[in-house]
Structures are given as structure tokens and as C-alpha cells.
Amino acid sequence: METVLHTRLKPGMEAEYERVHAIIPAELDTALREAGVRSWRIWRSGLDLFHLVDCDDYEAMRAHLREHPANLPWQARMAGLLEVSDDYSGAEPDIRLVWELP
């Protein structure tokens, strides 16, 4: 199942966000894969970030990572870069497919 997400950087954090994502910690990579993530791609346009997450079950993945020791420091780091930090409140992304070329 693919899920699309949109997040936004704080102004001036573009280069730092890309630097931090140049190498994902091995323990976070393992945690994501254990949570059923097959791939996670991120595109940036200015301050806007667009994520395409391919995982078995998005809600289950979030539940697995919510208090995971590899994810907590990563989310703390992201909170300093993102306009709105992820609080794992359970809110689902409100991005729906409108059209695709068949």
C-alpha cells in the first residue's frame, strides 16, 4: 500500500534536512523495515516535502514506530527542521488520488 504525505520545512532548513537525510541511521532503517516499510521516497520543492511510503499497513507502521527507541531521536531531530513536528497523534494524511494516467 502506498501512502502520500506532505510536510513542510522551517525556512532556512533545506540544506540541513538534506544533509541529515544523506545517511539514515542503521537502527532507524532496521526499525522501518521491521514495521513493514518497503520503500520511502522524499521529494523537495522549496520548503515543501512530498513523501511516497510503500508499506504493508500505514497505521500499523506508525504504531510500531511511535515509541521505538530508534525513531524517538530521529523525530526529535526532525522537529527542529519541520514547520510542524510529527506527534504521532494518529491523524491520517488527507491526500487523495484525484487522477492518474491509465
Task: Tell me whether residue 101 is in a domain.
Answer: no
pLDDT tens across 29-88, in order? 999 999 999 999 999 999 999 999 999 999 999 999 999 999 999 999 999 999 998 877
Q: What is the mean pLDDT of residues 11-32?
A: 97
Task: Tell me whether residue 40 is in a domain.
Answer: yes
Identify the CA nearest to 50 among candidates 97, 96, 14, 4: 4
What cell numbers appear for 14 in the block? 533545506
Query: pLDDT at position 89, please?
Result: 75
Query: pLDDT at position 57, please?
Result: 93
Q: What is the dihedral of CA 16, 5, 1, 42, to 10 degrees?
A: -30
Residue 15 pLDDT > 80: yes
pTM metric for this prediction: 0.89
Domain that holds residue 21: 2-84
CATH of the domain at 77: 3.30.70.1090
Number of domains composing the chain: 1
